């Protein structure tokens, strides 16, 4: 069975030494997040993941969810009890507002714990993950009545949430959706239509499920400007707040799929189910995007979580499996062979994964802290800057962390040789599970287009300029000899990213295909620079801590310095190739007539 230990120490180092969480103490909820409280919470979460969720991961894969003739869906053995423990532990709402029963702690804690949950059991982690997204949307957009009705139960984990966008003929292009809502005159609407690919759409974990449904009010304008967001409970809510009569939404089937078998992917049929508008009529997309952005960050974290658990297992296997001898001569002459971690190509693989994981975790935590500034700060300027950051980095985190996270599960599987391809060790499940994250909540191609086509130019490029300035300033301020191996390569990569940005400005407006053809390369380039910036900050913090005499932690701090150098030498140079591809333009990409494909 796979192993997993939550990287609590790494998170604490990032929160305390790299990002200095104490500097955020003016934000509501942060005062309660003292280092010892945070450590205790993360330790508890790690224990729950290791002891409760991890053992259910393979069971969930083998058993999957089952759709019964009466429309019920049952989750794999053990999921219900594990979910009960999750809800009773108060995990759902640790960062949610106290107004609805949450603990109001920094959202960085939620996002870090979500990484742990994903590592231990991705299919399980999706049930709470989607609920947290739905909570965010209701909190921002729903009326006080709806909030009071749904949020306490959702924050408490009694009910889960879903997001209903996709229909058979429309995924990315939501303007084509057909699900219809007819007003009943009493504030409610009758919903009719079919939604597909609804994760956690039907299950037996909770007594109610709260669907957020994008639909078209009868007579609404065509396209995305005619869509409205609705809340549609599986069971209507009684006056006392308890679930009452069954609403007319039913699960027609669940999908057979490549992975995440423990999460039900439902076809939901709305057949006159009652729904209520969330936010304004015909303004469904902006409301949905609150949820979607939350979800996109969460999906990025899935890429990281899968990469982390795959790494931990591959590293353990590489230290254990005896095969061949080191190129520099036997390291364990008394054993029949050396452990395969002596081989440079095996190490290269492990270093590549860990150099990604540690920086990706930093990027996620940094962004979560910025998210709290965006939502909780009293300073409008700070909120604006933080909001810019979120808008810019969300597609990068979603796209890059899931592409690379998946690639890393494949690399980790490779360490096992043939033993990675058989089901027994669980490595192939990681690959199958991780694959979905590149697709849902907007395919990674859509993330790239969002970044290049929308986020770069927004407000005259304010967000991207601020990002470049921040990274550039850090490089300038840290030109010490010790920091040169980090800021030197970072400066070169930043320069290339700026060249690519300029190239789009000059060549993408008149000929948008130039921007489209380079968008995926640009997103990955941006990701490398952002991860490189994280490594430079980690290196700085590690050097300062070592200089201050970090007794007992030296080995781990030095390992960070080595891993950061590996990133700079072996991963960051990719930006040169990306720039060359971008600057080659769209001509050869677009030249063939469609019928030649």
Span 518-537, contacts to a copy of itself by CB under 8 A: 519-520
Q: Is 441 considered catalytic here?
A: yes
Task: Indicate which single residue of 387, 421, 466, 472 sits in contact with a copy of itself (rule: CB under 8 A).
Answer: 421
Segment 381 to 410, residues that bind a copy of itself, using CB under 8 A: 406, 410
Question: How far is 405 from 340, CA to CA, in rounded Å?
Answer: 23
Residue from 194, 83, 67 nearest 131 by CA: 83
- The verdict on 63 binding a copy of itself (CB under 8 A) reads no
Neighbour tally for 174: CB within 10 Å: 17
Q: Are strands 188-199 and 235-237 parallel, antiparallel or unpaired?
A: unpaired
Half-sphere exposure of 17 (CA within 13 A, CB side): 21
β 265-278/188-199 pair status: antiparallel
Compare residues 308 and 428 and give the one whose CB is closer to a copy of itself. Answer: 428
Binding window for a copy of itself (CB under 8 A); candidates: 75-83, 236-244, 256-264, 544-552: 256-264
**Given the complex with a copy of itself, which of 180 and 383 has the nearer CB atom?**
180
Interface with a copy of itself includes 576 (CB under 8 A)? yes
Nearest to 352 by CA among 401, 415, 408: 408
Q: Judge residue 539's burial from the number of C-beta atoms within 10 Å of its C-beta, 0-12 exposed, 13-18 middle, 19 or more buried.
A: buried
Instruction: Report if residue 554 touches a copy of itself, rule: CB under 8 A.
Output: no
Among 50, 283, 383, 565, binds a copy of itself (CB under 8 A): 565
Number of residues that bind a copy of itself (CB under 8 A): 98
Residue 24 CB: number of other CB atoms within 10 A? 21
Kindly report the three-state secondary structure assignment for every residue of 49-83: HHHHHHHHHHHHHHHCCEECCCCCEECCCCHHHHH
CA 145 to CA 156: how far, in whole Å? 18
Q: Cβ 97 to a copy of itself, closest distance in Å? A: 32
Instruction: Indicate the burial class of 200 (C-beta count within 10 angstroms; 0-12, 13-18, 19 or more).
Output: buried
Binders of a copy of itself among residues 442 to 461 (CB under 8 A) are 443-445, 448-449, 453
**Residue span binding a copy of itself (CB under 8 A) among the ranges 52-60, 90-98, 180-188, 559-567:** 559-567
Q: Based on CB atoms, which residue is closest to a copy of itself, 406 or 503?
A: 406
**Contact range with a copy of itself by CB under 8 A, out of 11-19, 282-290, 364-372, 431-439:** 431-439
What is the C-alpha to C-alpha distance for residues 248 and 269, in angstroms, rounded to an integer? 8
Residue with tokens 């640009």: 522
Q: Of 317-376, which residues contact a copy of itself (CB under 8 A)?
A: 318-319, 322-324, 327-328, 336-337, 339, 341-351, 354
Please identify, using beta-carbon distances, which residue of 327 and 380 lies nearer to a copy of itself: 327
Q: Among the options 358, 441, 477, 554, which is catalytic?
A: 441
Q: How is residue 19 annotated by DSSP? A: S
Binding mask 194-233 for a copy of itself (x = CB under 8 A): --xx------------------------------------
Binders of a copy of itself in range 578-597 (CB under 8 A): 580-581, 584, 586, 588-597
Binding a copy of itself by CB under 8 A: which of 516, 541, 543, 545? 516
The structure tokens listed for 539 are 């290196």
Site for a copy of itself in 131-170 (CB under 8 A): 166, 169-170
Q: What's the CA gap between 141 and 147, in Å, rounded?
A: 9
By C-beta, is 171 or 284 nearer to a copy of itself?
A: 171
Residues marked as catalytic: 441
């Amino acid at each position: 069975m796979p192993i997993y230990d939550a990287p609590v120490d790494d998170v604490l180092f990032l929160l305390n030494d790299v990002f200095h969480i104490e500097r955020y103490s003016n934000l509501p909820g942060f005062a309660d997040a003292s280092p010892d409280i945070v450590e205790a919470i993360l330790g508890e979460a790690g224990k729950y993941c290791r002891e409760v969720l991890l053992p259910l991961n393979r069971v969930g894969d083998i058993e999957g969810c089952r759709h019964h003739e009466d429309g019920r869906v049952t989750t794999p053995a053990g999921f219900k009890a594990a979910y009960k423990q999750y809800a009773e532990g108060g995990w759902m709402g640790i960062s949610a507002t106290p107004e609805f029963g949450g603990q109001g702690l920094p959202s960085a804690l939620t996002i870090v714990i979500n990484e742990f949950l994903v590592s231990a059991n991705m299919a399980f982690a999706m049930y709470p993950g989607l609920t947290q997204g739905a909570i965010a949307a209701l909190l921002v957009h729903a009326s006080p009545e709806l909030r009071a009705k749904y949020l306490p139960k959702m924050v408490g984990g009694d009910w889960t949430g879903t997001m209903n966008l996709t229909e058979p003929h429309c995924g990315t292009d939501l303007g084509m959706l057909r699900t219809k809502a007819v007003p009943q005159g009493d504030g409610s609407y009758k919903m009719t239509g079919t939604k597909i690919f609804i994760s956690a759409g039907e299950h037996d974990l909770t007594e109610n499920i709260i669907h957020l449904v994008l639909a078209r009010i009868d007579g609404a304008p065509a396209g995305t400007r005619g869509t409205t967001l609705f809340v549609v409970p599986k069971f209507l809510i009684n006056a006392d707040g308890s679930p009452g009569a069954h609403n007319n939404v039913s699960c027609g089937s669940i999908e057979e799929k490549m992975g995440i078998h423990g999460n039900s992917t439902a076809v939901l049929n709305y057949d006159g189910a009652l729904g209520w508008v969330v936010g304004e009529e015909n303004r469904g997309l902006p409301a949905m995007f609150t949820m979607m952005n939350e979800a996109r960050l969460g999906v990025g974290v899935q890429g990281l979580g899968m990469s982390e658990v795959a790494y931990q297992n591959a590293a353990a296997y590489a230290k254990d499996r005896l095969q061949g001898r080191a190129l520099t001569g036997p390291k364990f002459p008394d054993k029949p062979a050396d452990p395969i971690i002596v081989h440079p190509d095996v190490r290269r693989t492990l270093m590549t994964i860990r150099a990604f994981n540690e920086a990706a975790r930093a990027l996620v935590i940094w962004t979560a802290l910025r998210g709290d500034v965006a939502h909780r700060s009293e300073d409008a300027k700070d909120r604006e800057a933080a909001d810019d950051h979120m808008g810019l980095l969300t597609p990068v985190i979603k796209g890059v962390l899931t592409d690379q996270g998946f690639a890393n599960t494949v690399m980790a599987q490779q360490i096992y040789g043939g033993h990675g391809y058989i089901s027994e060790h669980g490595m192939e499940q990681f690959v199958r599970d991780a694959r979905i994250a590149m697709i849902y909540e907007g395919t990674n191609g859509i993330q790239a287009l969002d970044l290049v086509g929308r986020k770069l130019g927004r407000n005259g490029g304010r967000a991207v300029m601020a990002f470049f300035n921040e990274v550039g300033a850090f490089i300038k301020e840290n030109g010490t000899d010790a920091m040169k191996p980090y800021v030197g390569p970072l400066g070169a990569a930043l320069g290339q990213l700026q060249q690519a940005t300029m190239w789009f400005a000059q060549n993408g407006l008149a000929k948008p295909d130039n921007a489209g053809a380079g968008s995926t390369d640009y997103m990955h380039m941006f990701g490398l620079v952002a991860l490189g910036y994280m490594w430079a900050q980690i290196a700085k913090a590690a050097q300062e801590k070592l200089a201050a005499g970090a007794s007992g932690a030296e080995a781990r701090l030095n390992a960070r310095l080595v891993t950061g150098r590996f990133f700079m030498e072996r991963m960051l140079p990719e930006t040169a190739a990306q720039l060359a591809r971008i600057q080659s333009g769209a001509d050869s990409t677009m030249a063939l007539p469609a019928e030649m494909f």
